[in-house]
Amino acid sequence: MTGSANGSRLRQVGVDREVPDPVTDVSTAPAQRVNDAALSLLLTALKALSQRTVVALGQLTGVVALFSVWWLFNNALPADPSAHQLVGLGLYGALALAVLWVRR
């Protein structure tokens, strides 16, 4: 029989070699830790930047509403507006202020 003493039909052909583990390899471990730390720092910075961007976009709607009120008043007043135009501009301004007040 060609097997070992335990009755297996498999037999060893070559000598086992020790394969180095890439995680515990001393030469690449510090570089990997530096890369992991840099990636963690970059992801934290991008998270903070995206949160600030979302807050800024949330505040942008109020700025756009107030700018539109100012622009409409600025264009209507020098052109001798009628009473209906003045009432409409006043209601539009009140609506914009009400929307800003409700959002807070």
DSSP letters of 39-99? HHHHHHHHHHHHHHHHHHHHHHHHHHHHHHHHHHHHHHGGG---HHHHHHHHHHHHHHHHH
Q: What is the pLDDT along the chain (104 residues), one digit of tens a residue?
A: 455 556 678 887 877 777 766 665 555 577 788 888 889 999 999 898 898 998 888 888 888 988 999 998 888 887 788 889 889 999 999 999 998 898 87
d(CA 67, CA 86): 17
d(CA 59, CA 20): 56
